[in-house]
Amino acid sequence: MTKTFKPGTLCIQAGWKPKNGEPRVLPIYQSTTFKYSSSEEMARLFDLEEEGYFYSRLQNPTTDAVAAKIAALEGGIGAMLTSSGQAANFYAMHNICEAGDHIVCATAIYGGTFNLFSVTMKKMGIDCTFIDADASEEEISKAFRPNTKAMFGETISNPGIQVLDIEKFARIAHSHGVPLIVDNTFATPINCRPFEWGADIVTHSTTKYMDGHAVCLGGAIVDSGNFDWEAHADKFPGLTQPDASYHGLTYTKAFGKMAYITKMTAQLMRDLGSSQSPQNAFLLNLGLETLHLRVPQHCRNAQAVAEYLEKHPRVAWVHYCGLKSNKYYELAQKYLPNGSCGVIAFGLKGTREDAIHFMDSLQMINIVTHVADARTCILHPASHTHRQLSDEQLKEAGIAPDLMRLSVGIEDVSDIIDDIEQALKRI
Ligand SMILES: *Cc1c(COP(=O)(O)O)cnc(C)c1O
């Protein structure tokens, strides 16, 4: 029933469905354990023969209700929450990749994900080839190998603000028999639903706009249910062959379209346990209830700030896909017609010290390692989040060394511009 509602309604109504006499508002089930009257009933849960709660590392009613809301917003068939966005991207991959496998990924992605794929997963035996997402289908296809298991990109890259051609990526992934996984953190399902363009799995750092108030870390993985694992059974034995840790159950046979997300909960969460706490899921749900109001305001403010910066004589360049001058304007019009996100990248004329002096002169706008919350904030990736990358790697990730990442909040936009104006005057 929820599927027929508009996103703005789903933000409020999807997820928690109270029965008679139950709390109208999603309760925090602050319990690790759940009671059953017979050992037989509990055993059926352990064999995945029946659905139910037994231990909050695997599932909890509060986190499940919020996962269901996010699944509804994305138009997916199921979702799982994780303790952070990093865990979400790791789980999304690890659910279908193991030692000896390979993935193809857009170069312009979040620094944390870049490290995860290029260093940590490499140590686990999973190789990643990074490709220029703007290259031709032919060029990108060259990166695929017989052992490639997934393709990955971000709808809007953090912090480069590059827009992904999702349809192109989906075509390439599918022609090689692998799913497309899209990190939709910056766009949110309010501005883009990647499943509508052919993506198979969507991930989120819910820490950003979904929470929106900078109070709780979290992540989510959403399954469209569209990828046919059985059609490529040899590539995905973890889903299509018996799981010894569940008495030889085969996920695709037992759960059909829900195979991927069920395996992730039953196996990865059981064994790795990066669960989101019920308390955080409750806070995330409060954020989601206003997502459809906040996101358009972030976009309106960012558009105004981007236009202001573009005209300012001290500003060397502005990168925002809502600007007509932007390389990604056309793609943004296609995939993000109602607005992209609140994050702008820009550089000042002058030295690196000028940029730092500018940031230090801001009064209302704070320097924080965060993006995409209600408060406008700024960060210099080359000195903060992306410190580990060389200038060469920075360039490959679409990040100029002088790039400042301004995350435009939902304050009155004239106060945001005033603060930038006074700081620009001091350099
Ligand atoms: C922040 C972010 C992540 C990581 O999320 P955490 O919640 O900080 O672990 C992943 N992808 C993107 C696009 C992000 O912006």
Contact criterion met (CB below 8 Å) for 51 and 61: no
Name the band, by pLDDT with cuts 50, 70 and 90, for residue 3.
low
Lowest average pLDDT, out of 46-55, 173-182, 370-379, 392-401, goes to 392-401
The SS3 assignment for 356 reads: helix
Q: How far apart, in whole angstroms, are the C-alpha atoms of residue 279 and residue 61? A: 12
Q: Are residues 69 and 210 in the same domain?
A: yes
Between CA 66 and CA 53 the distance in angstroms is 15
Would residue 90 count as lying in a domain?
A: yes
* pLDDT tops 80 at residue 386: no
> How close is the Cα of 289 to the center of ligand 1, in Å?
21
Residue 217 CB–ligand 1 contact under 6 Å? yes
For residues 406 and 277, state if they share a domain: no
> Is residue 1 situated within a structural domain?
no
Neighbouring-strand partners of residue 171: none
Domain of residue 327: give its range. 292-425
Q: pLDDT above 90 covers what percent of the chain?
A: 85
pLDDT, tens digit (0-9, with 9 covering 90-100), for 14-64: 999 999 999 999 999 999 999 998 888 888 888 888 888 989 999 999 999
Q: What is the pLDDT of residue 355?
A: 86
297 & 411 share domain: yes
Partners of 411 in the beta sheet? none
- Taking Cα atoms as reference points, which of 283, 161, 278, 156 lies closest to residue 214? 283
Q: Taking 90 as the threshold, does the pLDDT of residue 414 lie above it?
A: yes
What is the mean pLDDT of the segment spanning 262-280? 96
Q: How confident is the model at residue 396 (pLDDT cuts 50, 70, 90)?
A: confident
Under the banding of pLDDT at 50, 70 and 90, the label for residue 1 is very low
Out of 26-35, 188-197, 393-402, which region has the weakest mean confidence (pLDDT)?
393-402
**405 with 244: CB under 8 angstroms?**
no
The answer to whether residues 185 and 50 belong to one domain is yes
My answer on whether 269 and 402 are in the same domain is no
More confident residue, 395 or 146: 146
Under the banding of pLDDT at 50, 70 and 90, the label for residue 71 is very high
Which of 287, 305, 320 is the endpoint of a domain? 287
Q: Has residue 2 been placed in a domain?
A: no
Query: pTM score, two decimals?
Result: 0.96
Residue 125 shares a structural domain with residue 223: yes
| Average pLDDT score over residue span 265-283 | 97
Structure tokens at 38: 């017979």
Q: What's the pLDDT at 51?
A: 84
Query: Is ligand 1 within 6 A of the CB of residue 188?
Result: no
Same domain, yes or no: 137 and 224: yes
Which atom of ligand 1 lies at the shortest distance from residue 109's CA?
Answer: 13
- Using pLDDT thresholds of 50, 70 and 90, give the confidence band for residue 381: confident
Neighbours of 198 (CB within 10 A): 18
Provide the pLDDT confidence category of residue 2 given band limits of 50, 70 and 90.
very low
CATH of the domain at 414: 3.90.1150.10
Ligand 1 atom at minimum distance from 218 CA? 7
Nearest alpha carbon to residue 108 among 158, 42, 177: 158
Distance CA 137, CA 335 (A): 18
- The residue from 255, 287, 319 where one domain ends is 287
* Residue 387 pLDDT class (50, 70, 90 cuts): confident
Please state, rounded to an integer, the average pLDDT across all residues of the chain. Answer: 95
Band (343; pLDDT cuts 50, 70, 90): very high
326 belongs to a structural domain: yes
Burial class (CB in 10 A: 0-12, 13-18, 19+), 53: middle
Residues 262 and 303 in one domain: no
Residue finishing a domain among 227, 258, 287: 287
For ligand 1, atom 5, which residue shows the shortest CA distance? Answer: 85
* Mean pLDDT within 321-348: 97
15-29, 32-46, 203-217, 389-403: least confident range:
389-403
Of 70, 83, 110, the one to substitute when testing ligand 1's pocket (max ligand atoms within 8 A of C-beta) is: 110
Number of domains in the chain: 2
Is residue 354 scored above 80 in pLDDT?
Answer: yes
Ligand 1 atom closest to Cα of residue 371: 15
- In this structure, the residue with its CA closest to atom 1 of ligand 1 is 205
156: CATH: 3.40.640.10
